[in-house]
Amino acid sequence: MKKNRTIYARNESIRRDWYVVDAADQVLGRMSTLIATYLRGKHKPIFTPHVDCGDHVVVINADRVRVTGRKAGQKGYFTHSGYAGGAKLLSFEEMMERDPRKVIAHAVAGMLPKNRLGRKMLKKLKIYAGKEHPHQAHKLNKLEV
């Protein structure tokens, strides 16, 4: 009798698609979970935890993403320069004024593995503040949130 064997994905056998997400008027957390799922490859039947089998995701209109409730004023982003007294705490509103792309990148990075595989997955995320992006040459599938 032949036993069923588990099939593991290999780097050679993985087909990477390109997806575009329009962040205009989307809730940050709900959108980020979907993006992290596609970057990791968990939507594919061949998903293997120790292999990067995810797809590329292009996010447009990052400057128009929103949060619910009072998070706009209360949500904080902490950075530290490494020097004594070098701590900074920025609110969501301040972070959106500085660089709205970092808000989405921070949210998605928190949902990926915290190792070199997660860093490799995060490189497949392309975020743009406006509608314009240089990835028109790829066949972009629209990803609905």
Report the percent of the chain where pLDDT is more than 70: 99
Q: pLDDT class for 96, splitting at 50, 70, 90?
A: very high
Q: Residue 1 pLDDT > 80, yes or no? A: no
pLDDT tens track for 16-33: 999 999 999 999 999 999
Q: CB under 8 Å to 107, separation ≥6 — which residues?
A: 28, 29, 32
Whole-prediction pTM? 0.92
Q: What is the pLDDT of residue 50?
A: 94
Domains and their CATH numbers in the chain = 16-66+98-142 (3.90.1180.10)
Three-class DSSP category at 138? coil
Q: pLDDT class for 59, splitting at 50, 70, 90?
A: very high
For residues 42, 46, 47 and 51, what is the CA-based torsion angle, rounded to 10 degrees?
Answer: -140
**Cβ-contact 128, 59 below 8 angstroms:** yes
Cα distance between the two ends of the chain: 45
